[in-house]
Amino acid sequence: METQEFTSMPRIGDKAPEFKAVTTQGEINFPADYKGEWVILFSHPADFTPVCTSEFMTFATMEDKFAEANCKLVGLSIDGLYSHIAWLRSIKEKIEYKGMKDVEVKFPLIEDITMEVANKYGMVQPNEDSTKAVRAVFFIDPEGIVRTMIYYPLSLGRNFDELYRVIIALQAADEFGVATPADWRPGDDVIVGPAGSCGTAEERMTDSDMDCKDWYFCTKKLDKDTVLEKILKK
């Protein structure tokens, strides 16, 4: 009888697993080197593959935009450092995609030949592929806590507008003590948490600052400029 393989992974709210690694930008001690900053740690299946190439070009092009939101990017695949360097050089010198060309990837790309980091983060999903990392994305806050995880199969490229939306929404929720509804973007109404008592619920229904459809569903305005001024670096 075959035994089912299970891949462990951190959960939302866990401390991000620690590791030291060699990268294309030198050695890193994760997440200690990034204390005080948000980080997107993401994996890709392999160097010199087309979907991954399109993703790295997009991430690199958007790196400054993420940096303005106090967010650093860290990539990983189960490839060696020299493979990483050759691939990134090829991207810069040869690849043009959706108007992007001469793209230089400046964020670190982790060498993980031993799969140590990939296994700590559950990036290897045996039923998908036992020798390649899936397209995992971990959003880690300034205290080193995992706040969001998104997993994509090998064949599906990531939605980068959504990745940016997530990093802004997480910070907005923290900063203003609210929740963000479906498809939220800065400037949209936000959700006010449910009332904790009957009296509070009744007060909420008549609060002029809120739009309450019922005691459990209340929204309020949150100006786009107010959100972005708090989150984006000047």
- Kindly list the catalytic residues: 52
Rounded distance between C-alpha atoms, residue 145 and residue 157, angstroms: 25
Rounded distance between C-alpha atoms, residue 54 and residue 1, angstroms: 41
Rounded distance between C-alpha atoms, residue 40 and residue 150, angstroms: 11
Per-residue DSSP letter, 202: H
Kindly report whether the peptide bond that precedes residue 50 is cis, defined as omega within 30 degrees of 0: no
Q: Which residues pair with 223 in a beta bridge?
A: none
List, as residue ranges, the binding site. 135
List, as residue ranges, the binding site for substrate. 135
Nearest to 41 by CA among 118, 155, 143: 118
Rounded distance between C-alpha atoms, residue 86 and residue 92, angstroms: 10
**Token pair listed for 76:** 């990983």
**Token pair listed for 191:** 């959700």
Q: Is 58 helix (H, G, I), strand (E, B) or coil?
A: helix
DSSP string, 97-158: BTTB-S----S-EEE-TT-HHHHHTT---TTT-SSS--EEEEEE-TTSBEEEEEEE-TT---
